[in-house]
Chain A
């Protein structure tokens, strides 16, 4: 569904993405993990066309995105820090997006709006919302248009346990529908029950992209957190763990 070929991105001195190639298919839930500043968000933003890579190509459904925009209708994006027009009320934000997208109501996915009870804050301006509530709004927007690809950047950071659980269940339901989901998170225990593949990035390079089962076998750990910790501590991470997906 999404194919990335040799993309490079440099921000002045910092090499944010170093020759990254990967391929993601329908039904996969891919966890992007790596230390802070390793290039996860830059990769996501490149897929969305917000950051323009210096070289390399990104294909969406076998079409080179090449500065186009219409492919984004199939992507739901939840940013790490949701920033919204301050004066706009929550309800207005939703109605504006619906108006711009022009989707018929029956195609919309209002589940998260209902489950997070966002209707009660529809009259509040965005600037008065707390960080967690903002996250809920971001999540509801990402799922609203029923996209076939979901890109979630730190979805559970800042959410209370209850909301975090609601969101996780929603992700699992969408995964069941055969959608492609990309998640970055530092809370590995959250990813444990969701993920099918793990992509580990460090200093802009992919260290490995592998199936969670293989990863568990290779490290002998059940918990994702421990498995990753073992790799980070242990052997040369590039050696043994070259992914079967990068052949």
Chain B
């Protein structure tokens, strides 16, 4: 069963981009911890970088990889292999390589300097976001046949999740500021994995004390076991649903 992902992985490792990415993450994380005396401050900066860079790299890398391995997919399709298995193998290969990049590049420095609850929250969020955006990128690339369109679509999704969505949430909060929105914003956080990840990490940090009443409510929720389950559950849905739609689309596609 692991035969196909192994070939995908082998192909990815040879391109060396993934090694550069690992090094980049490693140097950034290490320098954050070196520059800041206070490791929790370093964690905050590291979090901001991760929440921007990780989704972007996962999306772009996955889409480019998908289009570059079109020949491989075509070749495999003439063999007695199911389409589902081919696509899931591609996913497994890409996800595994991005995940190990993150675990080496960020995981090692974090464990060295700040192996706290916050540190683990950061690693969990980073790993989930990598998988979520790999899954979303697969959907984007299966949908469009054209490479430029696929990458454009992936970029648009990145803008949406990291910039546009926050703007929309702020707009809603301002327009309805007369109403109690605490529970509602909790729901809104589920609709964007990046936001969910940010809240999840922030609440493990001291800065959450500055967030007022909403912060207290969040802390109450995310600090509990239910909050952890909620985060894991929502992240898992964000991984599975796009991938599942991608497999369905891929099954019906003409190649």
Q: Residues of A at under 8 Å CB distance from B? A: 11, 45, 48-52, 67, 69-73, 75, 77, 79, 83-88, 96-97, 99-101
Contacts and interface: CB of A to CB of B under 8 A. Distances in A.
Contact of A52 (B70, B79, B254): B254
A69 B4 contact: no
B182 interface: no
A11 B254 CA distance: 10
A11 B255 CA distance: 12
A204 B75 CA distance: 26
A50 B254 contact: yes
26 contacts: A48-B77, A48-B78, A49-B77, A50-B78, A51-B254, A51-B255, A67-B251, A69-B80, A70-B80, A71-B80, A72-B78, A73-B79, A73-B80, A83-B70, A83-B71, A83-B74, A83-B75, A84-B71, A85-B11, A85-B72, A85-B75, A87-B11, A88-B11, A97-B79, A100-B81, A101-B79
Given A85-B69, A99-B3, A77 B78 contact: yes
Which 4 pairs from chain A and chain B are nearest by CB?
A73-B80, A83-B71, A72-B80, A77-B78
Interface of B: 3-4, 7, 11, 14-15, 68-72, 74-83, 251-255
Contacts of B251: 67
Given A69-B82, A87-B11, A101-B79, 4 more contacts: A11-B254, A48-B78, A83-B75, A84-B72
Contacts of B69: 85
A185 B254 CA distance: 23
Contacts of A48: 77-78
Contacts of A69: 80-83
Nearest to B252: A52
A34 B15 CA distance: 42
A82 to B, nearest CB: 9
Interface centre among B14, B68, B81 (most CB of A within 10 A): B81
Contact of A84 (B75, B79, B80): B75
Contact of A96 (B7, B70, B254): B7
Nearest to B85: A69
A24 B253 CA distance: 26
Nearest to B78: A77
A97 B75 CA distance: 9
A98 B83 CA distance: 19
